Amino acid sequence: MNTLIDPFHRTIDYLRLSVTDRCDFRCLYCMSEQMTFLPKKELLTLEELDRLCSTFIGLGVKKLRITGGEPLVRREIMTFFRAMSRHLESGALNELTLTTNGSQLERFAGDLADAGVRRINISLDTLDEEKFAHITRWGRLPQVMRGIDAAQKAGLRIKINTVALKGFNEDELFTLTEWCASRDIDLTFIEVMPMGDLEEDRLDQYWPLSDLRSRIEERYTVTPLAERTGGPARYMRLEETGQKVGLITPLTHNFCESCNRVRVTCTGEIYTCLGQEGKSDLRKPLRASEEDAHLEDAIRAAIALKPKGHDFDYSRQTEGGKMTRHMSHTGG
């Protein structure tokens, strides 16, 4: 049977694959400034990533999202995207997409579109150049803006992912919303998650999206949407602008009951829950045999260990359920 079913009868048809732990930014809530990256020999090769993804697709995965780090800094990454396009052409895969910081889109937007990518997520937390430089430590906002222009010119549908950060971008709630509406860009807000041993205090950063939504409802007429795009976001339409706004709320309202996804790192570790430490190794069976049977068995065994949900919790003024690994390690 070419379907992956977890112990709670959820069909797993969405793979988020990190192709590198490296990034050209150092966002305060994601990475330490002096990160120690993995030795290149530990990373799966592009050919191994192809075989891994193709095996998942053979087991019923219909949506493949490429993440990082920053996926577009991986050398020769377009070779991989072009290889994956064969699964779109055959109909085995419904969607090939990526999450990016936008820094490399000016170079790669056209190539991504040619490879069959139709929709991308761009992480962007502020439209203020100085604040952008602060939150990313190394980033330049004009470079990202040129990337967004290039992506729209190439015909890619864009969704902006904004981490809601108390005291940082609260005052840009409507600036961001209206800017996205003016560009016909979708927007999703995300609660900051307790991941990684960072200098920042998560409790100081945490802005619950229940509060953010209340502020939006004071200005706009909000219509909840039943639509889902395969991820954890819940969507609403702002009637005055016609735009779609999503909320990803791992803390104020977890979304585990409908979880259909797993994450695989660039070293072949599979995490069946972003908010649990449990993982399984797929690199060893991948390299142990050129036959896919061992790899398929390892994937099924990992899915059989998928937990019911995560334990993220700030309600007791502590970082409940905190993960020691950085978000860049697992992939966003």
Q: What is the pLDDT along the chain (332 residues), one digit of tens a residue?
A: 589 999 999 999 999 999 999 998 888 877 777 777 888 888 999 999 999 999 999 999 999 999 999 999 999 999 999 999 999 999 999 999 999 999 999 999 999 999 999 999 999 999 999 999 999 998 999 999 999 999 999 999 999 999 999 999 999 999 999 999 999 999 999 988 654 454 555 557 788 999 999 999 999 999 999 887 666 789 999 999 999 999 998 665 455 777 899 999 999 999 988 767 789 999 999 999 999 999 999 999 999 999 887 554 434 444 444 445 445 556 65
The answer to the question of residue 135 being in a domain is yes
The answer to the question of residue 176 being in a domain is no
29: amino acid identity, one letter: Y
The answer to the question of residue 178 being in a domain is no
Position 329 scores a pLDDT of 55
Rg, the chain, Cα only: 19
The answer to the question of residue 215 being in a domain is no
Q: How far is 94 from 196, CA to CA, in rounded Å?
A: 33
Q: Number of structural domains, the chain?
A: 1
Position 193 scores a pLDDT of 64
Q: What is the CATH number for 64? A: 3.20.20.70
The answer to the question of residue 231 being in a domain is no
In the sheet with 14-18, reading across from the earlier edge strand, the strands are 222-225, 234-238, 243-248, 186-191, 157-164, 119-123, 95-100, 63-67, 14-18, 261-264, 269-271, 280-281
Q: How far is 76 from 186, CA to CA, in rounded Å?
A: 29
The answer to the question of residue 32 being in a domain is yes
Position 254 scores a pLDDT of 54
The answer to the question of residue 126 being in a domain is yes
The answer to the question of residue 199 being in a domain is no
Domain boundaries, position 78:
14-158+254-330
Position 298 scores a pLDDT of 97
